[in-house]
Amino acid sequence: MPTRDAEAAIARLSKARVLVVGDAMLDRYIFGRVERLSPEAPVPVLTMASEHDEPGGAGNVVHNLCGLGAATAFVSVVGDDAAGAELTGLIGGQPGVEPWLLVQGSRITTVKTRYIAQGSRQGGQQLLRTDREDTRPIHAKLSERLLRIARDAMAATSVLILSDYRKGVLAGDIPAQLIKAAHAAGRRVVVDMRASDFARYAGADVLIPHRTDLNPGDDPPDGDEAIAEAAEALRRAHGFGAVFVKRGEEGMTLVDATGPTHFRLDPTRLIDLSGAGDAAVATLAACLAASIKLPTAALLANAAAGIVGAQPGTCVIRPDMLSAALAG
């Protein structure tokens, strides 16, 4: 793709208006030093030095959309707890966000805590991750309210992202109802999911699965041809407009009615792919919302994944980062 065309596409991202519905969570990072082993067990002792919290899950997709300059509406559910209140503040404090974080009493807000020892490797060494979560479906009355708010928000947005981390917000037939409402309003739907129950998202415009989920119950496809065949079979089986497969350090593969296109990453530049998928999803959806064609959107989305993957920990994608990556 000519650099001039890419720059023109990137410049249009600030015109994007995107709605995100999905599982919000709080990502917590605890940094410290390890200088000895515990006398109680053969485990390192982390002397805590600092702590950092940021939006995770669908909240990280929103974070990246904000970084790209897109106006974003976000509908999700948090618990009636300190983590939920903090997450609400973090989301609401970002520019260009209209947050609708509904509170469910007695529910636990998902918190992923990573303990990281700062060492010779840039960014430190992760020692342990602990998860605190409630993955049960949200209450039925809350589901009705979530659907109502999301339908209303579609009027001011042009693309809907369904970010399913399997934490209960997009349980049952909620995805089907949202896809139906979006299409009735003339909106496109991008689905990012971490499972293989693809039928629940039938009819979505773009499905973004991981390679390992393409053949449930069997070995995942390997290689360009096998991945393209599996993605095309999935596209036809459930009426997806396109399937955009995440392949880790190998990059991504787009399969639509015109056939497959493979986008590569340089594995020698990758450090940590945490958050790379969220950056790709946000970039793809922002491009589509800015009326950028799907092949160009996929190219920029793969570039965003590579940028984030080349950083230690998670980072937020920005237009200037995309421009630098394509120019280099």
Active site residues: 278
Q: What does the block give as tokens for 76? A: 């999700």
Evaluated on CA atoms 79, 82, 87, 90, the torsion sign reads positive
Cβ neighbour number for residue 210 with a 10 Å cutoff: 17
Rounded CA separation 99/209 (Å):
26
Amino acid at 136: R
b/e sequence 16-50, b meaning 16+ C-beta within 10 Å: bbbbbbbbbbbbbbbbbebeeeeeeeeebebeeee
Helices (H) and strands (E) in the chain, counts: 9, 13
Determine phi and psi for 103, rounding to 5 degrees.
-105, 130
Give the ranges where 50-131 is alpha helix by DSSP (H).
58-67, 82-92
Closest CA to 288 of 160, 198, 185: 160
